[in-house]
Amino acid sequence: MYEHAQSTTPRAWTVRALALLSAVIIGLIPWADNAAAHGSIVDPAARAYSCHDRWGHDHLNPAMAQQDPMCWQAWQTDPNAMWNWNGLYRDNVGGNHQAAVPDGQLCSGGNTQNGRYRAMDAVGNWHATDISNNFTMRLLDHASHGADYFRVYVTRQGFDPTTQQLRWSDLELVRETGRYAPAQNISFSVNASGRTGRHIVYTVWQASHMDQSYYFCSDVNFR
């Protein structure tokens, strides 16, 4: 049985419109691949999506170095990681995520795509989304891949994402979903009770169209 995607909210329509606009703009950039082909967690925003969403229109602005240093280093390392914010996946993992994605490389999906997303693993003060312990995850999936499941982990209380490299042992599984039918917008609720302050929400999205696994680090601040 499929779980049901929640109805599209006005905010979701806004996210979709912005994403489609960005896809059009990306098509005009010669070094970008086809970023309209896959998907990403957009709320709380995964790192590549967050950097693109906030700086894609102004990514050459040197003020980013002071205002948003983690996104700055990511743009400097490989701008294609942001233009292709929805391409952070690995094929043929066979469900063995911990073997495919080693400690210290969780946010880059094990340096997937020839290391394109390696800057996502950098430790520092990434821009964080303020959320409550009960929150909603939202996936934007242009290709409507559907999902065999989502696994959502949250770092244990006491982990400091601004100074510590992320390992599997730092994560606690807080939600595993059932299947979702193909849709461009999928959302589901998550409970991460007992957390306060800065954390990483780590999401594994197992797409259902083929053995394709996506890995997302979302920086959050539990209020």
d(CA 21, CA 62): 24
Residues 9, 190 contacting (CB under 8 angstroms): no
Residue 81: what pLDDT?
97
**pLDDT tens profile 51-76:** 999 999 999 999 999 999 999 999 99
DSSP state of 94: T
pLDDT of residue 134: 98
pLDDT per residue as tens digits for the range 151-184: 999 999 999 999 999 999 999 999 999 999 999 9
Q: Side chain identity at 194, as an amino acid letter? A: G
Distance CA 15, CA 17 (A): 5
Residues 191-209: tens digit of each pLDDT: 999 999 999 999 999 999 9
> pLDDT tens-digit profile of 2-59?
675 654 444 444 444 444 444 433 433 433 443 446 999 999 999 999 999 999 999 9
Query: How confident is the model at residue 32, as a pLDDT?
Result: 41
pTM (two decimals): 0.85
Report how far residue 87's alpha carbon sits from residue 215's, in angstroms, rounded to the nearest whole number. 10
What pLDDT score was predicted for residue 1? 64
pLDDT at 117 exceeding the cut of 80: yes
Domain ranges of the chain: 2-222
**Confidence at residue 25, expressed as pLDDT on a 0 to 100 scale:** 39
Res 153: pLDDT = 98
Domain covering 2-222 in this structure, CATH number: 2.70.50.50
What count of Cα atoms within 13 Å lies in the side-chain half-sphere of residue 45? Answer: 19
From the list 101, 178, 184, the residue with the least C-alpha distance to 147 is 178
Average pLDDT value for the chain: 89
C-alpha to C-alpha distance for 67 and 141, rounded to whole angstroms: 29
Give the Cα separation of 161 and 200 in Å (integer). Answer: 7
